[in-house]
């Protein structure tokens, strides 16, 4: 302590203490006060270089007024109030919390904060402390973004009968409260984003539902997370391409840029989609991964859309300011992106359900219609064969009946495809078989189940399937109409599989024929005989769908060897 200091001495001391004070007074100015009220008044009106506290009885109370010492270093506001809630003393931190530039001494506590809203749990914490003599606490809100936690404790006189003052500690809890609010809001946003029901999707087109989901995502991103620039891309599982779903504030060249889930040459977005790791770009001008996105962007934050450890896409936000995003922003965006992933998955499931429903309805209609249509075609072909050369008008009419009858199945499939929703993001799709599309296949089998299954399985891939019950009916169909391939069982009711194969090849040497049989069951040796005449394809029941498709695909795309098959 420097010489000639001005000291405030508070309290009553014993004889040795008095001698020390006299020695201090020789080189310093010592001002003595007997009670706390006088000490506070002196501190408000005069300047001191130090405060000396005397006596055990007053040490607790007097420690509250250590002006210019440790109380100025604590991060909380500390206030001494009188019973009328007027401020007697405060540290500098309280001025920072209230935003005042001048001393708050003499002001009402609540006036110093600009009449804040009391949030509880105690809505009268100061009166509770004065009345009960026990500590009390409450929370205050100032404006929309500032929250304070207030703890108050009464200070009693020497007799301990009634409180003379209140010691108040004010802590700024804005960051904690806003973080809790944001977490709660993200949870609520998740509920609303995922509020997709089958009933609703029936009333809205899938495109409309996707647009509604996109508007919700944008609303919460901008209003809750305060991010103005947003880009969301969804990962196509097969091509690994990142398809744009939502882009706001991005340059057109960036929004339309082809990006893939690859850590090389695909920017931050490709890196995040490939690794599943979030990426905080502090400075776009010096970041090796960053590709230009939003106009003038200087920092970006990109997180993966993840559901059950599967990467669905990426969520990217950008700012014109360097270092605009921190760890809190990263945490909130990761949490929000999980809710977005759940909502997108829910929508995809509902779309898939609608696609499945449309497909199943189409298959059901075809299953019910296909065989009756085949019966009409069979009968019409029988009548047509007998009228050829006799009644040209009747033949023309029969040809028209056949054409329109065949068109029925095509129309059912066309309508079924039109019922399938057109979605902005891809669902897992059935592998395409372009070689089978529009190929006309005749299936010869006495079993109704087999004929129905042929319609369903081959029809999925664009084949036009017609059926016959036996060999004679098959010959009639082959003579009357064009087919790209014939599939025939070796056990027909009127002939063997070899006889059916041989007769069809006599009529059309270039027409591929596939024989079907159970494993090892060929009592008439149809397959052996047919192989000697050029049979290329055999299906052994029960066969898998891919085996059926492969055999038919090979049959309709492989030229016939005319040297071996005249």
- Can you tell me the mean pLDDT for 346-363? 54
Q: What is the percent of the chain with per-residue pLDDT over 90, rounded to a whole number? A: 23
CA distances from residue 187 to 124, 246, 305, 337, 347 in whole angstroms, order as listed:
32, 21, 16, 11, 18
Q: Name the strands in the sheet holding 136-142, side by side, starting at the edge strand that comes first in the sequence.
A: 87-90, 77-81, 163-172, 146-156, 136-142, 117-121
Tens digits of per-residue pLDDT, 293-325? 999 999 999 999 888 888 989 999 999 999 988
358: left (phi over 0), alpha (psi -120 to 50) or beta: alpha
- Can you tell me the mean pLDDT for 16-23? 69
Are 179-353 and 430-566 in the same CATH fold? Answer: no
Q: Extract the tokens encoding 168.
A: 């108040």
Of the segments 236-240, 272-276, 561-565, which one has the largest average pLDDT value? 272-276
CA distances from residue 75 to 78, 170, 171 in whole angstroms, order as listed:
9, 9, 8
Of the segments 7-21, 202-216, 262-276, 450-464, which one has the largest average pLDDT value? 262-276
Closest residue by Cα to residue 552 from 427, 445, 420, 462 = 462
- H helix count then E strand count, the chain: 18, 19
Which H or E run contains 443?
A: strand 440-444
Average pLDDT over the chain reads: 78
- Can you tell me the mean pLDDT for 73-79? 80
Rounded distance, CA 376 to CA 335, Å? 61
Full 3-state SS string of 181-233: HHHHHHHHHHHHHCCCCHHHHHHCCHHHHHHHHHHHHHHHHHHCCCCCEEEEE
Query: pLDDT band for position 253 (50/70/90)?
Result: very high
Instruction: For domain 6-65, give its CATH number from 3.40.50, 3.30.200, 1.10.10, 2.60.120.
Output: 3.40.50
**pLDDT for the residue numbered 443:** 93
CB 149 within 8 A of CB 139: yes
Quote the Cα angle for 261-266-267, to 5°.
115
CB 402 within 8 A of CB 426: no
Rounded distance, CA 138 to CA 121, Å? 6
Closest residue by Cα to residue 385 from 508, 475, 499 = 475
Instruction: Please state which architecture CATH assigns to domain 430-566.
Output: 3-Layer(aba) Sandwich (3.40)
Over 50: is that where the pLDDT of 86 sits? yes
Which H or E run contains 460?
A: none
CB 150 within 8 A of CB 168: yes
CB 463 within 8 A of CB 439: yes
CA distances from residue 349 to 156, 201, 364, 379 in whole angstroms, order as listed:
68, 11, 22, 45
CB 80 within 8 A of CB 88: yes
List Cβ neighbours of 196 (8 Å cut-off, separation of 6 or more).
209, 213, 343, 346, 347, 350
Tens digits of per-residue pLDDT, 323-342? 988 888 888 888 888 878 87
Rounded distance, CA 557 to CA 566, Å? 19
**pLDDT for the residue numbered 426:** 44
CB 122 within 8 A of CB 151: no
Residue 443 dihedral angles phi and psi, to the nearest 5°? -110, 125
Rounded distance, CA 554 to CA 435, Å? 9
Q: How many residues does the chain have?
A: 566
Closest residue by Cα to residue 293 from 334, 246, 257, 346 = 257
- What are the extents of the domains in the chain? 6-65, 76-172, 179-353, 430-566
**pLDDT for the residue numbered 506:** 92
pTM, full prediction: 0.45
Rounded distance, CA 502 to CA 509, Å? 10
- Can you tell me the mean pLDDT for 369-393? 73
> What CATH number was assigned to the domain covering residues 76-172?
3.30.450.20
**What secondary structure does DSSP assign to 266-279, as a single string?**
SHHHHHHHHH---E
Query: Where in 45-195 does DSSP place strands (E)?
Result: 50-53, 77-81, 87-90, 117-121, 136-142, 146-156, 163-172
Tens digits of per-residue pLDDT, 417-445? 555 544 434 444 455 788 888 899 999 99
- Cβ atoms within 10 A of the Cβ of 78, count? 18
- Given the structure tokens 């019950």, which residue do they identify? 469
Q: Which residue has the higher pLDDT, 70 or 226?
A: 226
Rounded distance, CA 392 to CA 370, Å? 28
Tens digits of per-residue pLDDT, 475-513? 998 988 889 999 999 889 999 989 999 999 999 988 999
CB 330 within 8 A of CB 303: yes
Instruction: Please state which architecture CATH assigns to domain 179-353.
Output: 2-Layer Sandwich (3.30)
Tens digits of per-residue pLDDT, 180-224? 777 666 666 655 665 555 455 555 555 666 676 777 777 777 776
Query: pLDDT band for position 158 (50/70/90)?
Result: low
Q: Are strands 440-444 and 136-142 parallel, antiparallel or unpaired?
A: unpaired
């Amino acid at each position: 302590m420097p010489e000639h200091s001005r000291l405030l001495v508070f309290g009553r001391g014993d004889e040795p203490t008095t001698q020390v004070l006299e020695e201090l007074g020789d080189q310093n100015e010592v001002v003595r006060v007997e009670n706390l009220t006088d000490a506070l008044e002196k501190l408000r009106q005069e300047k001191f270089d130090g405060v000396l506290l005397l006596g055990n009885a007053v040490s607790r109370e007097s420690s509250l007024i250590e002006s210019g010492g440790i109380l100025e270093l604590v991060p909380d506001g500390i206030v001494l109030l009188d019973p009328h809630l007027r401020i007697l003393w405060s540290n500098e931190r309280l001025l920072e919390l209230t935003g005042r530039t001048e001393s708050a001494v003499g002001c009402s506590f609540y006036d110093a904060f600009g009449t804040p809203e009391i949030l509880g749990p105690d809505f009268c914490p100061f009166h509770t402390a004065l009345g009960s003599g026990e500590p009390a606490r409450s929370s205050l809100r100032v404006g929309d973004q500032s929250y304070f936690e207030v703890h108050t404790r009464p200070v009693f006189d020497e007799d301990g009968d009634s409180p003379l003052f209140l010691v108040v500690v004010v802590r700024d809890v804005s960051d904690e409260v806003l973080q809790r609010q944001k977490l709660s809001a993200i949870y609520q946003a998740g509920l609303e984003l995922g509020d997709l029901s089958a009933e609703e999707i029936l009333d809205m087109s899938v495109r409309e539902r996707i647009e509604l989901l996109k508007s919700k995502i944008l609303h919460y991103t901008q209003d809750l997370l305060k991010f103005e620039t947003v880009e969301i891309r969804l990962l196509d599982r097969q091509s690994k391409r990142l398809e744009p779903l939502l882009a706001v504030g991005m340059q057109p060249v960036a929004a339309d840029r082809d990006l893939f889930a690859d850590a090389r040459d695909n920017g931050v977005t490709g890196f995040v989609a490939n690794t599943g790791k979030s990426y905080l770009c502090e400075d776009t001008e010096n970041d090796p991964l960053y590709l230009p996105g939003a106009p003038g962007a200087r920092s970006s934050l990109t997180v993966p859309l993840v559901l059950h450890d599967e990467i669905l896409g990426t969520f990217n936000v950008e700012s014109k300011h360097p270092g605009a995003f921190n760890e809190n922003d990263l945490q909130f965006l990761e949490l929000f992106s999980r809710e977005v992933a759940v909502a997108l998955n829910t929508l995809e499931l509902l779309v898939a359900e609608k696609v499945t429903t449309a497909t199943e309805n189409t298959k059901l209609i075809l299953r019910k219609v296909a065989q009756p249509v085949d019966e009409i075609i069979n009968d019409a072909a029988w009548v047509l064969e007998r009228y050829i050369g006799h009644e040209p008008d009747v033949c023309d009419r029969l040809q028209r009946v056949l054409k329109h009858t065949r068109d029925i199945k095509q129309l059912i499939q066309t309508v079924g495809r039109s019922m399938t929703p057109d979605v902005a993001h891809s669902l897992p799709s059935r592998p395409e078989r372009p070689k089978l599309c529009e190929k006309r296949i005749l299936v010869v089998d006495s079993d109704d189940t087999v004929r129905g299954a042929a319609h369903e399985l081959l029809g999925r891939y664009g084949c036009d399937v017609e059926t016959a019950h036996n060999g004679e009916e098959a010959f009639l169909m082959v003579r009357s109409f064009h087919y790209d391939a014939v599939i025939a069982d070796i056990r027909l009711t009127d002939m063997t599989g070899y006889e059916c194969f041989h007769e069809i090849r006599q009529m059309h040497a270039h027409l591929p024929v596939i024989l079907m049989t159970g494993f090892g069951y060929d009592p008439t040796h149809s397959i052996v005989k047919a192989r000697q005449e050029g049979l290329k394809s055999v299906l052994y029941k029960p066969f898998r769908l891919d085996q059926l498709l492969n055999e038919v695909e090979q049959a309709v795309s492989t030229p016939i060897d005319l040297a071996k098959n005249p």
